[in-house]
Amino acid sequence: MLVFPLHPCPPAFLEQEISRSLSPPLTEPLTVPSPAPSAPQPRDFVAGVVHPWKVSAFERLLWRACRGYIIADFQEMEENLELPEMDEMVKWTVFLISYWGDNIGQKVKKICDWLVLSQTESYLQQLLNRLLYFCFLQVCVGKCKAVHTVLNLCSPSVTDKCLIAEAWCPVRKLLLLQSALIEGTVSISASVVDSFYNRLPSSSSSSPPPTLFTTNSFTAAFQSIVEAYGVAKYREVNPAVYTMVTFPFLFAVMFGDVGHGLLMAAAALWMILQDNKNTPSRNEMWRMVYAGRYLILLMGLFSVYTGAIYNDCFSRGLSTFPSGWHLRPMNWSDETLRGSQYLSLDPNIAGVFQGPYPFGIDPIWHLASNHLSFLNSYKMKMSIIIGVVHITFGVCLSYFNYRY
């Protein structure tokens, strides 16, 4: 006698139904009670798999618990699946139970959870393992489709015995091309005629050569930024080389802060150190941020530099060096200091101004009444100068592109 755990439903209910299911078989056909006329209720269903030895007991238990207010269909599977408890192959039985009403549905779900839940999970796990094999076949089919797509771009020869393809290839990779053709002929196609390539002059092609920029994990983000605006023509200067400096610096001009720059640089450095440990993520946003980790690192470092010039750390002033302005030579009395809201320092008095600040903006400007207008004017003038230099540099690159 097998004893099953009775967690999903009340013990009294299951003991009553199990005793009924173990009773002698019925000698008379079961009569379906005629339901009283009522408003139509929505129909729902439960599906799963059950061991063939338990089909009769399962069906009797459902019939007596629901008193005929269900429609059950059992169908034996065509193929065998493994039974984990006995390590043998068994033909499982698939069932579909349709019912009406919430009360009947609760009874059906409790019986299914108690009797067939683990078996259904085992069945789904085996199906998942088979689907993994089908995914592998899908990858193989995708590769074959890609190969035939490329072959369709080729044109047949006069004798229709070979294919001719016209393509562009970097000069430094011609040896790799030849070795790939030889390997494909010998080890894959086993053809009698060897594959070969013939180098044609560029003037024989009606279209200009394409542009190829070799990138790595450091330069890929900058190249993507440049190509978002346009791709340079063949033999033109690649502006991504200069963007590796100008783009982070222009960002830092707007985002100059020592503290925030250090946080950005630390986050980017952590992503760089995790370069060989991270597995490819399916999150598109994370992949985009991770691809620009070197760009974020440079933006953080340049922000630290411009933040030091602005004397800002988390929007607070820094006093790295002593100020070049001093109050003591002004000889102000205590009453003057208490009674005046704003005071002006006279640089003509000896000892008041002792020289410019060593690096960046003097922190005494944070106490000035025109602090905000001074910094805005300072940043605006610096932005204009940087913008003019940037545009002039771009015009010079255009001249070299036109000249050569």
Asked if 240 and 226 count as a contact pair (C-beta separation under 8 A), the reply is yes
Asked if 46 and 107 count as a contact pair (C-beta separation under 8 A), the reply is no
pTM of the model: 0.58
Confidence of residue 302 (pLDDT cuts 50, 70, 90): very high
User: 291: burial class by Cβ within 10 Å (0-12, 13-18, 19+)?
Assistant: middle
How many Å apart are CA 57 and CA 53, to the nearest integer? 8
**pLDDT for 342-395, tens place per residue?**
778 877 888 888 888 888 888 888 778 888 888 888 888 988 999 899 999 999
Q: Which residue has the higher pLDDT, 35 or 123?
A: 123
How many Å apart are CA 360 and CA 313, to the nearest integer? 13
How many Å apart are CA 251 and CA 299, to the nearest integer? 7
Q: Which residue has the higher pLDDT, 273 or 70?
A: 273
According to DSSP, the residues that pair with 156 across neighbouring strands are 163
DSSP annotation of 325? B
Q: Which residue has the higher pLDDT, 367 or 86?
A: 367
Confidence of residue 191 (pLDDT cuts 50, 70, 90): low
Share of the chain above pLDDT 70, in %: 79
How many Å apart are CA 393 and CA 233, to the nearest integer? 19
Summarize the confidence of residues 152-170 as an average pLDDT: 84
Q: Which residue has the higher pLDDT, 166 or 266?
A: 266
| Residue 11 confidence (pLDDT) | 45
Q: Which residue has the higher pLDDT, 158 or 401?
A: 401
| Residue 297 confidence (pLDDT) | 95
Share of the chain above pLDDT 90, in %: 17
**pLDDT for 249-258, tens place per residue?**
999 988 889 9
Q: Which residue has the higher pLDDT, 180 or 39?
A: 180
Asked if 47 and 95 count as a contact pair (C-beta separation under 8 A), the reply is yes
Question: For residue 78, which phi and psi values (nearest 5 degrees)?
Answer: -80, -30
| Residue 39 confidence (pLDDT) | 46
Confidence of residue 37 (pLDDT cuts 50, 70, 90): very low
Return the amino acid letter for 277. K
Please, which residues have CB within 8 angstroms of residue 196's CB and are 6 or more apart in sequence? 178, 181
Asked if 362 and 325 count as a contact pair (C-beta separation under 8 A), the reply is yes
Kindly list the domain boundaries of the chain, sorted by start residue. Answer: 1-21+42-153, 154-208, 220-321+372-403
Q: With 80 as the cut, is the pLDDT of residue 117 above it?
A: no
Asked if 52 and 92 count as a contact pair (C-beta separation under 8 A), the reply is yes
| Residue 396 confidence (pLDDT) | 93
| Residue 221 confidence (pLDDT) | 92
| Residue 279 confidence (pLDDT) | 62
